[in-house]
Amino acid sequence: MVRHFLELRDAGGDAIAAMINDAMDRKEARADWPKGRADADAPLAGRVLAMIFEKNSTRTRVSFDMAIRQLGGSSIVMEAGGMQLGRGESIADTARVLSRMVDAIMIRTDDHSKIDEMAQHATVPVINGLTDRSHPCQIVADLLTIVEQGKPLPGLELAWLGDGNNVLHSILEAAGLMKFNVRIATPPGYEPDRSYVDAARALGARITIGNDAQAAANAADVVVTDTWVSMGQPHAEAKIAAMEPFQVNSALMARARPDACFLHCLPAHIGEEVTADVFESEQSVVFQEAENRIHAQKSVLLWCFGLI
Ligand code: CP
Ligand code: NVA
d(CA 191, CA 303): 31
d(CA 241, CA 87): 38
Q: Which residues lie closer than 8 Å to 25 by C-beta, 6 or more apart?
A: none
d(CA 302, CA 286): 24
Q: Which residues pair with 127 in a beta bridge?
A: 5, 106
Backbone angles phi, psi at 127, to 5 degrees: -115, 135
What's the CA-to-centroid distance between 254 and ligand 2, angstroms? 26
Q: Which residues pair with 158 in a beta bridge?
A: 182, 222
What's the CA-to-centroid distance between 42 and ligand 2, angstroms? 31
- The pLDDT of residue 5 is 98
Give the residue whose CA is nearest to atom 4 of ligand 1: 59
d(CA 228, CA 240): 7
Say which DSSP state 131 is in.
-
What's the CA-to-centroid distance between 130 and ligand 1, angstroms? 8
- The pLDDT of residue 126 is 99
Ligand number nearest CA of 59 is 1
Q: What is the pLDDT of residues 207-265, one digit of tens each?
A: 999 999 999 999 999 999 999 999 999 988 999 999 999 999 999 999 999 999 999 99
What's the CA-to-centroid distance between 185 and ligand 1, angstroms? 23
113 lines ligand 1 (CB under 6 A): no
Residue 67's nearest CA partner among 93, 90, 49, 41 is: 49
209 lines ligand 1 (CB under 6 A): no
- The pLDDT of residue 144 is 98
Q: What is the pLDDT of residues 69-94, one digit of tens each?
A: 999 999 999 999 999 999 999 999 99
Say which DSSP state 82 is in.
G
Return the active site residues: 108, 135, 138, 226, 265, 293
Q: Are 51 and 76 in contact (CB under 8 A)?
A: yes
59 lines ligand 1 (CB under 6 A): yes
Residue 209's nearest CA partner among 230, 193, 233 is: 193
The ligand 2 atom at the shortest distance from the C-alpha of residue 138 is: 5
Backbone angles phi, psi at 48, to 5 degrees: -120, 130
74 lines ligand 1 (CB under 6 A): no
CB count within 10 Å of CB 302 equals 20
Say which DSSP state 38 is in.
P
Per-residue CA distances from 303 to 112, 192, 207 (Å) = 21, 28, 28
Q: Which residues lie closer than 8 Å to 234 by C-beta, 6 or more apart?
A: none
The ligand 1 atom at the shortest distance from the C-alpha of residue 129 is: 3
d(CA 10, CA 300): 11
- The pLDDT of residue 235 is 83
Residue 157's nearest CA partner among 117, 216, 100, 199 is: 216
Count, in order, helices (H) and strands (E) of the chain: 12, 9
Please name each of the domains of the chain with its CATH number: 8-134+293-304 (3.40.50.1370), 150-284 (3.40.50.1370)
> For residue 267, is the peptide bond before it cis, meaning its omega torsion is within 30 degrees of 0?
yes
The ligand 2 atom at the shortest distance from the C-alpha of residue 231 is: 8
d(CA 159, CA 208): 10
Mutate to test the pocket of ligand 2, among 60, 115, 135, 137 (most ligand atoms within 8 A of CB): 135
The ligand 1 atom at the shortest distance from the C-alpha of residue 60 is: 8
pLDDT in tens, the chain (308 residues): 999 999 999 999 999 999 999 999 999 999 999 999 999 999 999 999 999 999 999 999 999 999 999 999 999 999 999 999 999 999 999 999 999 999 999 999 999 999 999 999 999 999 999 999 999 999 999 999 999 999 999 999 999 999 999 999 999 999 999 999 999 999 999 999 999 999 999 999 999 999 999 999 999 999 999 999 999 999 889 999 999 999 999 999 999 999 999 999 999 999 999 999 999 999 999 999 999 999 999 999 999 999 99
Give the DSSP H/E element, type plus range, for residue 46.
none
d(CA 253, CA 278): 8
Q: Which residues lie closer than 8 Å to 180 by C-beta, 6 or more apart?
A: 153, 154, 155, 156, 157, 158, 174, 205
